Structure formats: C-alpha cells, structure tokens
Chains A and B, each alone.
Chain A
C-alpha cells in the first residue's frame, strides 16, 4: 500500500523516514519540478509498503514550491479511491501547529496516523500532551508518541500503521470543509484557517499542558549572528571544511585510481591483446575509475553539510548570509553550494537541493561551474609556469601567485555577474516568501548524516555515473581510433625520422602515441577546428587538448604531454620547457603571454566537464540546463579568450 508521510518542516520527518526504511530508499524529483521526492520500502506483517516522503509543509494550501507539490499530490489522492494511509508527524513542542496540518488532511478524508514526535524535547520545555484527552477527541486515528531520533516508539508507530492499513478509517474531525480550495483563493483559505485555529485552540486547552517558564536566553545565537564574530566563525568553519575536503579526499582518490590501474594491468595480462582488451583496459576501466574518483569528495562534503544542517548551525549561517547574496537572486542557502564548487562543482550542484525556492536554486546551480574547481589547478599552474615570468611585483607580491588569484576572482565575479543577469531575466514561478524556521541546536544524529552520504553517493554513481562512463568511452574511442591506412602511413613515416631512430624504447613508445593521437578522429577534429581557434592564439595541438579535456579539465595537461612527445625542435622531455620553446613557422614563440592568458581565461569560463553536465541533468531532470550552460559558457570563454589574446 502507498503510505504518505506529511509534516511541518523540522518535525523530525526525515529521521522517521530513515528509521522506517533504512537504506531502502530512492531519491528523485516530483514530476516537472526540482523538489525532492523520497520513496522507501518497509515491511509490516510480511507485507511490503511504499513510504512516500513529502516535503515539509505548514498547510495543504501552496505558498511555496514544496507546498505546491503537496497540493498537486493531494488533488490526486483526494480523487482516487485506492486504499492509502497518511502519517502526519507533529513536533510535540509545536503541537497545535502540527495539528493544523493534521486536521486539514483529516478533513480531506484520508485515513491517518498521528505521530507525536520529539516528546523528550517537549517535556524538557514544560509541555505535556494529555494522551487520553487527545484520544477522546480523535476517536478513529491511531496515535503514536515517539522520539524518532533514538528509535523510541517505533513499535507503537508500526502497530498504529497496521491498524489503519486494515481499517482505513477516516473521519472529518473539524468538519470545517472537505474541499480543496484553488490555490489562488487566499481569502477562503484565510477564513478557513482562522476557524481551524479556533477549533484547535479550544481542543488544545484540554489536551496540551503548558508550564509557564521563562525561555532561557541563549547567548549562542547572539555570537553566531554577530556582524564580526558571526562572519569570522562562518568563514573559519568553511575554511576547515574545504581544507578537509581537499586534503582528506586526495588519499582515497589516489587509492581508487591506483586500484583501477592495477586492475587494468591485471586484465591486460589475461585478456588477449586486441580491440576488446583496449576497450576494457583503456576505455571502460579508466571510465569507471573516473566516476568513482568523485565519491570521496562527495562523501566528505556531504558529511560536513549534513553535520551543519542536522546540528542546527546551517540555518543560522543561511540567516547570516542571506542579505549578501540576495542582490544576485540567490538565497542564504546558496552560499555553501557555491563555495563547495571551488573544490568541485559536482557535489556543489548536488548541494543546491537544499535551496527551497526554485528560481534561486536554478540560478545557484547555473553559476556553480564558474567557481574555479580543483581540476582547473593543474591547467592554471602549467600555463602560469610557461607564460608568467617568475618575478615579484613591488618586491613583495609574487606575480605567478597573483595571476592564479586573479583567475579565481574572475571566476567568482563572473558567477555573481551571471547570477545577477539571470535574476533579472528569470520570472518567479511561484510566489515566495522567505519565512524560515530556525531549529533549536541539537546534537547531530549520526544515522541521518550517514544516510545522507550514502544517498548522495548512490544518486551520483547510479544516475550520473552511467552518462559519464558512456561519454568517456566515446571520447576514449575517438582519441584511440582513426583512419587505419593513414595511421599506418604516419607510423611508417615516423620510423624514418632521426628522433625516433635515436630514441630509447620508452621514447619510441611516446613518439608513437603522439603520432597516433594526431591521426585519431579526435586529432582530426582538433585540426578541423584550428581555423576557429586560431584567432584565440591556439593551434591544432591545443585544439586536441581542449577537446579531450572535455572529460575533465586536468586531462588537458596529460593530452598536451602526449602530443608534445613528438616534437623534434626541443631537446627536453619536460612538457613545460617544450611549451616554452614551441615556435611558429615564422620563428616567433607560440606560448606567449597573450596566448597563455587567453587559454587560462578560456578555462575559467568553458564548461569543460561532462560530469558537471551529467549531474546538472540529473538535478534539473532534463538536458536543457546543462546544454544552456555548455553553449553560454562556451561562447563566453571564446569571446573573453579572443579579447585577452588581442589585449595582451
């Protein structure tokens, strides 16, 4: 049977969902929108049931995109005759507010189970729920008192569910209205809400016991939102977080790459040489490795985000940052995803899921790839070392470091600029108010954090990983195959060259790979686009490197070193020196300040990352956004590189 889970935000609904379904859950989107839909399976008395988690709402009438999703779903549930049960989770400390939603759902005729959650916290706040009095009022709704965080009351919930699954008893308790008003009918909704509040208040008098006590004033919130200390603390937390993501993730990432190299070597030993061996060892295995290598970063980043979220700190940080990013059409919630994108846009884009407003979420997701990620570092550092002289400015500032810094700033400024433009262009689809509840601080719940990490890894590998793998095999194929005769001729030609004859075994292999890459389909593509990229100061070699680095930006460096292996002019085998000595036919240097800067700026903007596209597709549910990013940022990269090449 389908069991629907409803509740206010922060009522402990997700904890309860995790408690019931464990890891047997699936995360997707509601049709047509980017609101998260979680479904999970659990068994009760040998029978399997599907639990559908709806976003946290205060009312069945939509005032945000989350609520619109619930409203649309309820219209369907309301008109269907299928047996179903709704579980309404109510925070015991905010009992009357939860009852408001409960009563709306009850009046729609849905058989319900009422969960009174976080009873421990409520009791600490001096609130008691008189269960007998409540049962008197709600005669046909099974009630379960719980503390889902520690698993207390799970049996009570299962018993209540079993009863309601069998009996399917619904009753309108307040009988105010059982129709679902149009979402635009604000006046009717308000009138109904006032009536409903009054009935709940009358009922609450006999059900809820409150001991008047002074709410203890917490100094903590004052410190956390202090104009200096608050920001400094947030900056410090982010710094620690990103340092940890950078340094800690590199070990498992290296381990994954090492492991797959070993597997590839192992496979090569027992698969007979040929196309099949190439496909497995050079195409598929590195492709899988290229997907799995993102997992450590995703796991670490979501560990920190879930920790901040679950403890209640994130809500304060959002509160603090909202004003700063609002002019750019973003929300306080956009800050963590954007800054995460400086490590890697993949987890950054996945973290935009926390942004409630769809327009703000779209803007954040759209500009996230402009933040310079760690995969750009090898490209930047190589090019800086080639074209930027090692000298100091005014005797103190290292010029090379300054350029690297400028590239990062360029990324941030353009992200904010594009966000600002999008904010002006895009229409607000739903009326939206920034009304956010700030939860109390609580010790983090490890099972919730663990579930979040597992779920993010699952979504990435299963839903984006396939596309990344498929496309990386295509790019591998294009760079490893080409017109057979032409390739054979090129190799024969190479063998007559002096540099080849004089070279040792290793140098010979490197020369062969260079020639083969040049005469592959990808190499041909690089040569074909040469006229198009010549105005930016690039030749076909860079054309090949740019095309192949669409897999991942750092591939640029590897491809260049493969191509430059076949370079007679330079005596050195070090890539950096080869690039420095590369000459045009007329004897001028190829890598000048102008072409170097043009190339770096190209990499600031261009969406040279198919994994980012795969994740953006997954998060938005279509190719529209990733393709728009590809073309817009491609055009931006081209024009900026063109300007830079002529300016410098």
Chain B
C-alpha cells in the first residue's frame, strides 16, 4: 500500500520509497525507512497530503507520495 491510501489520522510504517531522489531527500529530512508516520492533513481536490514524522509535519504532493510504500 502506498502513503496516499492512508486515511487522515491514520498511522503507517514506511517500508520502501521507490524513487532514489525522493528517498535521499526524505532521508536528509529525517524520514527513514521504518519510521512511523501519521497523516495529519489532506488538501481537497487531490491536493497535497501532510504527515507527521517525529516532531515535524511534512507536506508532499500526491504524485510523489505514490512512491512511498507503507504497511
């Protein structure tokens, strides 16, 4: 399952990110494989989603979030 399918307030553990550029970027932002994230916001009409990881909230466009696999 990818991150876009997690409902608001839902928790998920990051399993894999199928996009080296995004994977490295998220790594640098402190989001690593195995981290637990919580979806905090969803913009209407297919806009970005936001998730909490540790103490920060990161927003990401749906097209990029598709690459983040969770369980």
- Name the one of B21, B44, B59 contacting A186, with C-beta atoms under 8 angstroms: B21
Chain B residues near A227 (CB-CB < 8 A): 44-45
Contact A63 B58, CB 8 Å, known A190-B20, A215-B52, A324-B45:
no
Alpha-carbon separation in the docked complex, A627 to B60 (Å): 36
B29 close to chain A: CB less than 8 A: yes
A contact set with B: CB distance below 8 Å = 58-59, 61, 63, 93-94, 96-97, 100, 125, 127, 186-187, 189-190, 193-194, 197, 215, 217, 221-222, 225-227, 230-231, 315-316, 319-320, 322-324, 326, 431, 433-440
Alpha-carbon separation in the docked complex, A225 to B44 (Å): 7
Name B63's closest neighbour in chain A (CB-CB). A434
Mostly, the B contact residues are: mixed
Tell me the residues in window 28-55 of chain B with beta carbons closer than 8 Å to chain A beta carbons: 28-30, 32, 38, 40-48, 50, 52, 54-55
Chain A residues near B44 (CB-CB < 8 A): 225-227, 230-231, 320, 323
Cβ–Cβ contact B24 & A435, under 8 A: no
Name A435's closest neighbour in chain B (CB-CB). B60
Alpha-carbon separation in the docked complex, A322 to B49 (Å): 11
Cβ–Cβ contact A197 & B32, under 8 A: yes
Contact A187 B20, CB 8 Å, known A96-B30, A97-B29:
yes
Interchain residue pairs with CB less than 8 A apart (15):
A61-B28, A94-B54, A100-B30, A189-B24, A193-B27, A221-B40, A227-B45, A319-B59, A433-B64, A434-B64, A435-B26, A437-B56, A437-B59, A438-B58, A439-B57
- Interchain nearest-CB distance for A434 vs B (Å): 5
Cβ–Cβ contact B30 & A97, under 8 A: yes
Cβ–Cβ contact B27 & A323, under 8 A: no
- Name the one of A94, A127, A226, A231 contacting B30, with C-beta atoms under 8 angstroms: A94
Cβ–Cβ contact A319 & B48, under 8 A: yes
Cβ–Cβ contact B41 & A319, under 8 A: yes
- Name the one of B25, B41, B42, B55 contacting A127, with C-beta atoms under 8 angstroms: B55
Cβ–Cβ contact B29 & A435, under 8 A: yes
Cβ–Cβ contact A433 & B22, under 8 A: yes
Alpha-carbon separation in the docked complex, A225 to B39 (Å): 13
Name B45's closest neighbour in chain A (CB-CB). A323
Contact A323 B59, CB 8 Å, known A59-B28, A190-B20:
no
Cβ–Cβ contact B59 & A436, under 8 A: yes
Q: How large is the interface on B (under 10, 10 to 19, 20 to 34, 35 or more residues)?
A: 35 or more
Chain A residues near B60 (CB-CB < 8 A): 433-435
Alpha-carbon separation in the docked complex, A324 to B58 (Å): 20
Cβ–Cβ contact B28 & A323, under 8 A: no
Quick one: which of B38, B45, B56 has the most chain A CB within 10 A?
A: B56
B23 close to chain A: CB less than 8 A: yes
Name B47's closest neighbour in chain A (CB-CB). A323
Q: How many residue pairs between the two chains, A and B, have CB atoms under 8 Å in the bound complex?
A: 114
Quick one: which of B8, B48, B58 has the most chain A CB within 10 A?
A: B48
Cβ–Cβ contact A438 & B55, under 8 A: no
Alpha-carbon separation in the docked complex, A435 to B64 (Å): 9
- Name the one of B9, B20, B47, B56 contacting A320, with C-beta atoms under 8 angstroms: B47
Chain B residues near A433 (CB-CB < 8 A): 21-22, 25, 60, 64
Alpha-carbon separation in the docked complex, A322 to B43 (Å): 9
Chain A residues near B61 (CB-CB < 8 A): 322, 326, 434
Cβ–Cβ contact B29 & A58, under 8 A: yes
Alpha-carbon separation in the docked complex, A194 to B44 (Å): 35
Name B29's closest neighbour in chain A (CB-CB). A58
- Name the one of B40, B48, B57 contacting A322, with C-beta atoms under 8 angstroms: B48
Cβ–Cβ contact B55 & A93, under 8 A: yes
Quick one: which of B58, B60, B61 has the most chain A CB within 10 A?
A: B61
Cβ–Cβ contact A320 & B43, under 8 A: yes
Contact A323 B58, CB 8 Å, known A96-B30, A190-B27, A197-B27:
no
Chain A residues near B21 (CB-CB < 8 A): 63, 186, 431, 433
Cβ–Cβ contact B30 & A225, under 8 A: no
Alpha-carbon separation in the docked complex, A78 to B26 (Å): 26
Chain A residues near B48 (CB-CB < 8 A): 319, 322-323, 434
Cβ–Cβ contact A435 & B59, under 8 A: yes
- Interchain nearest-CB distance for B50 vs A (Å): 6
Cβ–Cβ contact A58 & B25, under 8 A: yes
Alpha-carbon separation in the docked complex, A320 to B60 (Å): 12
Chain A residues near B43 (CB-CB < 8 A): 225, 319-320, 322-323
The 7 closest A-B pairs by CB, nearest first: A323-B47, A97-B30, A227-B44, A59-B28, A58-B28, A93-B55, A438-B57
- Name the one of A97, A431, A438 contacting B50, with C-beta atoms under 8 angstroms: A438
Cβ–Cβ contact A435 & B58, under 8 A: yes
